[in-house]
Structure 1
Amino acid sequence: MPQSEWENLTSPLTILDAEQITNLLHRTTGERLTIDRVLMYPLENGGAIVTRNEGEIICCLIWMASESDAARVIGFGVNPLYQSKGIGTQCWSVLNEYLRSAGLTRITLEVRANNDGAIRFYKRFGLRPIGWLKGYYPDALGVLMSGPVGSSKPCN
């Protein structure tokens, strides 16, 4: 897949963007976010990194600065039709560029423990499990992962 055009959307999101993000994250992660919830995210301290195909958001990564040196990934999804084509890796690279330029040095996120593909992806970029999250997801055990802001390329 050719290099994608990336946008870092900040508050306020449009209703259409919030709806597309909500639908994409539900479809790819099982997260049942509401449009109102997505509109509430404090994106002035982060953003929603997206790329589109014919106006439709096909990849989204919502992030925010959570501490003076850390960023938290709130949601990350790639439309299944575009998975395994490098879109997620490109998006992660864009995130790392933003975080480095903001002086942030760590990334944290939560992921379902049964989402082996996502866990492998994050490990390729240096994140490691640091704890279990019982009750975080209503239907699955969660894993808290953390790692350095690092290379925009995987460290296979």
Structure 2
Amino acid sequence: MWIPKKEGEVLLALDRGAGGEVKWRRVCAPAQIDARGLTARAALIEQATGEQYDVQTLRRLPYETKSCSFELDVGETHPAGLLWTTIVNCERARILVFAIAPEFQDRGLGSHVWRMMQGDLQALGIRKVQLEVHVENRGAVRLYERLGMNAVGIIGGYYLTGDGILMEWDASLEE
């Protein structure tokens, strides 16, 4: 069972079943992460989503540094999850990367960090969030639908291995 609590500025999620502490923490821009750290994050993204990124691509992502991006700290050298966002305009943000290592999936961590990100974005006046997901990534599509996102289009050939689904969360649909 995940029990959220607040410690300073960072919400934590405690996994009492595993006996260890797991927490989402706000993070700096990829440009400030060393090559070894970016290589580990690229491996995590590939493991969790099948998408391949090189270090230079990750370093150049238009990553949000205002507080809306997070990494899953499990007490290891490198994170076990990523949620990186960018603000597109005064009402819309885009998720650049949302990946959780398979051994940490299906524990409520994605939903937990989603709510943290929503709170940060809404405090900035952002009312819509978009992302792209591979059409064959059914688990991620189900998660995004549970989080209130809707499919708004298909992006042909978006991924090397197939099409993408453009999904959007719109706060006005929840009011």
Asked if the contact 1:64/1:73 (under 8 Å) is kept, the reply is yes
Deviations 1:36-79 (A, max 9, x none): 11111232456531021123301101110012211101111111
- How large is the Cα RMSD of the aligned pairs? 2.0
Query: Match for residue 161 of structure 2?
Result: 139
Tell me how far apart the structure 1 counterparts of residues 28 and 169 of structure 2 sit (CA, whole Å). 24
Which of 130-139 and 1-10 deviates more? 1-10
Q: 2:75 aligns with which of 54, 77, 82?
A: 54
**How does 1:3-14 map onto structure 2 within 5 Å?**
3=13, 4-11=22-29, 12-14=31-33
Q: 2:60 aligns with which of 40, 43, 59?
A: 40
Shift of 1:5: 2.5
Query: Match for residue 80 of structure 1?
Result: 102
TM-score of the two chains, using structure 1 as the length reference: 0.87
Which of 41-50 and 23-32 deviates more? 41-50
Tell me how far apart the structure 2 counterparts of residues 17 and 100 of structure 1 sit (CA, whole Å). 30
Shift of 1:114: 1.1
Shift of 1:18: 2.0
What letter corresponds to residue 70 of structure 2 in structure 1? I
More strand by share: 2
TM-score of the two chains, using structure 2 as the length reference: 0.78
Larger Rg: 2
- In the alignment of these two chains, the number of paired residues is 151
Unaligned runs of 5+ in 2: 3-12, 14-21
Shift of 1:21: 1.8
What letter corresponds to residue 38 of structure 1 in structure 2? L
Query: Match for residue 38 of structure 2?
Result: 18
- The answer to whether 1:102 aligns with 2:124 is yes
Task: Report sequence identity in percent.
Answer: 24
Runs of 4 or more, structure 1, over 4 Å off, are 44-47
